Amino acid sequence: MPRYAYERLSAQDATFLWAEREHAPMHVGAIAVLESGPLRNADGGVDFARYRGAVESVLHWIPRYRQKLAWTPLEGWPVWVDDRHFDIGYHLRHLSLARPGTLAQLRELASRILARRLDRSRPLWEIWVIEGLAGGEQFALLNKVHHCMIDGAAGADLSQILMSPSASAPRQEPLAYMPRPAPSGSELLLDSLRDRARMPLAALHAMFDQPEGVSGLVGDAWRRTRAVAELVSYGLSPASDTPINGELSPHRRIDWLTMPLADVLELRGELECTVNDIVLAAVTGALRRYFFRRRVDVAKLDFRVAAPVSVRTDADERRHGNHVSTWIVGLPLAERDPLAALAILRERTAALKRSHAALGADTVMKLAEWLPPALIERGVGIANGPTNTIVTNIPGPQFPLYVVGAPLLAMYPMVPLLPGVGLGIALFSYDGKLCWGFNADYELVPDLSAFRDDVCTAFEELRNATVARYLQARTATAERSDAEPGSESASKPSEERPKRKSRRRGTAGVNLAAGGPAA
């Protein structure tokens, strides 16, 4: 066995390094808002030392947090090596908002932090403890982790490592960190040459690994070929140009909102669709309103959304990195009726699922394992054209989480902006809430708060349309029942029938008395 240790990044993980540009950092982020509670110190601030100790005590569960990048000679492929000079003090930052500590101040500060790239000479993560929110009653944790380390599902799991489901969980003592020796340049070169020799066979075997729901080698090959062809066709016909697409600036705007998850689940049951369908319908309605104010004729747009789809299997649960593919979904922005737009989206996502469209990007990434890095980097640039924005929905825990006893109130995810894409939308469900996070380019989307309000309005329009349809269907059913021959009501003269009182009643599918989403 070699005396050294390292891990090669997968092609999919590496693409997030090669996709990164000066004004397009490829880290994912999250802003968590917590009650200060037991973490408040005598001065009214956050006990940063206790929080640092809690993070140190779980770092052995997250090996990537103490590893940094190295590169193979000649080939230039990235690998993970242990950081012999790891310093947690560099990765944990502590600052405070000026009084009065409003959410607007937090958004402005977080947007500046998230706009900056991570230092590639160190492990690719940072956590900022930001105190002083709501007069000291609350504080925020801002997380930055490079996308080459985790995908959305892994990020949700990671949040449960750094947090606890118990307010009184005992803190463990940190384990001693023993970094493994890193390979020399010549050792990396010899290993990479050996890997290259056997990689085509390994890539072919990996490509025909049968994911859940796909059986038969020939059928799998046909589905993959068709999915790749469809993906290529999108690349050959770029999406429409819109005001939210263009060259990215160095700066960002961020915003967020919170919806009751129960409202979304009620709509899901009544409309017989998925939560993702409802999310896409709300985004469709919001973009329609937003583009109307910016004088855009949506009827002429071929507007496409990149919707990440997890392809993580049971075998991947213990593996780091990304295990995700992508659906490309066209949004029916020209459709005025929110229920009709939802029906179109429901059919499109169902068709993508039936055709195993997620196999397209998955196959490309598996084949990319044995392509030269320069060719992959060129392909990443081409792949940025087929979509206008990204919408990703990450399921999270439906129970409370705590940080050293401090309860987590909400967590707002932030997806990175690909070059040319000025708006990213990410969602995270947590403890009965659906948390929306919006990341936007400062110049391309100067009115992000207006778009956030558009999402709230679009969701309410969908809810109201659902209620109206339900009431209309119930009225029609009652009228048919009254008109049936032989029924008691039909046998009475019309003047003798008791008059009905118009009343709004809640149902199992639609909560007619519930309020709108809370921003």
142: exposed, middle or buried (Cβ count in 10 Å: 0-12, 13-18, 19+) = buried
Quote the pLDDT of residue 498: 39
Q: What is the pLDDT of residue 296?
A: 96
pTM of the complete model: 0.85
3-state secondary structure (DSSP) of residue 156: helix
The neighbouring-strand residues paired with 402 are 164, 407
Domain 216-395+422-463 is classified in which CATH homologous superfamily?
Nonribosomal peptide synthetase, condensation domain (3.30.559.30)
Report the sign of the C-alpha dihedral through residues 245, 290, 26, 109, in that order. Answer: positive
Three-class SS of residue 278?
Answer: helix
- β-partners of residue 428 are 394, 435
**In angstroms, what CA-CA distances link 506 with 510, 514, 518?**
6, 9, 20
Question: Across the chain, how many H-helices and E-strands are there?
Answer: 14, 15
Distance of CA 25 to the CA centre of its chain: 16
> What's the rounded Cα separation, in Å, for the pair 280 and 267?
13
Choose among 443, 389, 434, 385: nearest CA to 416: 389
Query: What tens-digit pLDDT sequence spans the chain (519 residues)?
Result: 578 899 999 888 999 999 999 999 999 999 999 999 999 998 889 999 999 999 999 999 999 999 999 999 988 899 999 999 999 999 999 999 999 999 999 999 999 999 999 999 999 999 999 999 999 999 999 999 999 998 766 666 677 788 999 888 887 888 999 999 999 988 888 888 887 777 666 655 655 554 544 455 555 666 666 656 666 666 667 889 999 999 999 999 999 999 999 999 999 999 999 999 999 999 999 999 999 999 999 999 999 999 988 776 655 555 567 777 788 899 999 999 999 999 999 999 998 888 765 665 666 666 667 677 777 766 665 555 589 999 999 999 999 999 999 999 999 999 999 999 999 999 999 999 999 999 999 999 999 999 999 999 999 999 999 999 989 888 888 878 777 765 554 444 444 443 433 333 333 333 333 333 333
Instruction: For the chain, state the CA radius of gyration.
Output: 26
Q: Answer whether 435's CB lies under 8 Å from 427's CB.
A: yes
Pair 81, 6: CB distance under 8 Å: yes
Give Cβ neighbours of residue 495 (< 8 Å, ≥ 6 apart): none
Nearest alpha-carbon partner for 275 in 377, 396, 183: 396
pLDDT at 517: 36
259, β-bridge pairs: 434
For 439, the enclosing helix (H) or strand (E) is strand 433-441
SS (H, E, C) 75-143: CCCEEEEECCCCCHHHHEEEEECCCCCCHHHHHHHHHHHHCCCCCCCCCCEEEEEEEEEHHHCEEEEEE
Q: With 0-12 CB in 10 A as exposed, 13-18 as middle and 19+ as buried, what is 165?
A: exposed
Give the angle subtended at the CA of 354 by the CAs of 466 and 229, to the nearest 5°: 120
Q: How far apart are CA 387 and CA 421, in angstroms?
A: 8
